[in-house]
Chain A
Amino acid sequence: MKALVKGAGVAGLTLAFELASRGADVTVIEKRHRLAGSASWAAGGMLAPWCERESAEEAVVTLGRLALDWWETVLPGHVVRTGTLVVAPARDTSELDRFARRTTGFTAIGEEAIAALEPDLAGRFRRGLFFANEAHLDPRRALLALKDRLVGMGVRFEFGYGAVRVPETVDIEADCTGVEASVPGLRGVRGEMLLLHAPDVSLARPVRLLHPRFPVYVVPRADHLFMVGATMIESDANEPVTARSMMELLGAAYALHPAFGEAEIVEAGVGVRPAFADNLPRIGREANRISINGLYRHGFLLAPAMARQAADMIFNSQRELADAAHH
Chain B
Amino acid sequence: MLELYGQTFSSRLLLGTALYPSPAIMADAIKAARSEIVTVSLRRETAGGKTGGQFWSLIQSIGVRVLPNTAGCHSVKEAVTTAQMAREVFATNWIKLEVIGNHDTLQPDVFGLVEAARILSEDGFEVFPYTTDDLVVAERLLEAGCKLLMPWCAPIGSARGPQNADALRSLRGHFPDVPLIVDAGIGRPSHAAAVMELGYDAVLLNTAVAKSGDPVAMAGAFAKAVKAGREAFLAGPLEPRDMAVPSTPVIGMAAFS
Q: For B61, give the chain A residue with the smallest CB separation.
A: A277
What are the residues of chain B within 8 A of A56 when measuring CB–CB? 21
B107–chain A nearest beta-carbon distance, Å: 15
Q: How far is the CB of B220 from chain A (nearest CB, A)?
A: 19
> Do B22 and A278 touch across chains, with their CB atoms under 8 A apart?
yes
Taking a contact as CB atoms under 8 Å apart, the answer to whether B44 and A187 are in contact is: no
Structural contact, A102 and B45, CB atoms closer than 8 A: no
How far apart are the CA atoms of A186 and B57 in the complex, in Å?
A: 11
Partner of A233, one of B47, B51, B53: B47
User: Which of A98, A102, A236 contacts B53 (CB under 8 A)?
Assistant: A236
Q: Count chain B CB atoms within 10 A of each CB in A101, A190, A212, A234 and give the residue with the most.
A: A234
A239 contacts which chain B residues (CB < 8 A)? Answer: 48
Residue of B21, B24, B55, B211 touching A234 (CB-CB under 8 A)? B55
B122 to chain A, nearest CB (A): 29
The SS class assigned to the A binding surface is: loop
- Type the 1/0 row for B201-215, where 1 means its CB is closer than 8 Å to any CB of A: 000000000010100
Contact (Cβ within 8 A) B21 A55: yes
B46 at the binding interface (Cβ < 8 Å): yes
Flag whether A73 is at the interface (Cβ < 8 A): no
- In the complex, chain A residues whose CB is within 8 Å of the CB of B58: 187, 277
A277:B21 contact, CB within 8 angstroms: no
Task: Please state if B52 and A234 are interface contacts (CB–CB under 8 Å).
Answer: yes
**CB nearest to B212 among chain A residues:** A98
A238 on interface, CB distance cutoff 8 Å: yes
Interface check A107, CB cutoff 8 A: no
- Residue of A98, A102, A185, A237 near B49 (CB, 8 A) is A237
Interface members, chain A 226-281 (any B CB < 8 Å): 233-239, 242, 275-280
Distance (whole angstroms) from the CB of B186 to the closest CB of chain A: 15
Contacting residue for A190 out of B47, B211, B213, CB 8 A:
B47
Mask, B21-32, CB within 8 Å of A = 1, is 111110100000
A206 located at the interface, meaning its Cβ lies under 8 Å from any Cβ of chain B in the complex:
no
> Is B101's beta carbon under 8 Å from chain A?
no
- Inter-chain CA distance A31–B23, complex, in Å, is 29
A188 within 8 A of B: yes
Is residue B179 within 8 Å, beta carbon to beta carbon, of the partner chain? no
Task: Determine if A279 and B54 form an interchain contact, defined as CB atoms under 8 angstroms apart.
Answer: no
Which listed residue (A233, A238, A277) contacts B44, Cβ 8 A? A233
In the bound assembly, the distance between CA atoms of A242 and B43 in angstroms comes to: 12
Q: With a CB–CB cut-off of 8 A, which chain B residues contact A57?
A: 21-22
Q: Does B50 contact A (CB under 8 A)?
A: yes
Q: Do residues B213 and A102 form an inter-chain contact, with CB atoms below 8 A?
A: yes
Q: Do the beta carbons of B47 and A277 come within 8 Å of each other?
A: no
**With A and B bound together, what is the CA distance between A233 and B23 in angstroms?**
12
Q: Are A278 and B45 in contact (CB under 8 A)?
A: no
Cα A220 to Cα B112 with chains together (Å): 43
- Determine the distance from Cα of A277 to Cα of B157 in the docked complex, in whole angstroms: 24
Closest to B157 in A: A212
6 more A-B residue pairs beyond the given contacts A235-B51, A236-B50, A279-B24, with a C-beta to C-beta distance below 8 A? A55-B21, A101-B213, A186-B54, A233-B47, A279-B22, A279-B23
Sample of 20 A–B contacts (CB below 8 Å): A56-B21, A98-B211, A102-B213, A185-B54, A186-B54, A187-B58, A233-B44, A234-B44, A234-B52, A234-B55, A235-B48, A239-B48, A275-B22, A277-B54, A277-B58, A278-B22, A278-B23, A278-B24, A279-B22, A279-B24
3 closest pairs, A vs B, by CB? A187-B54, A237-B48, A237-B49
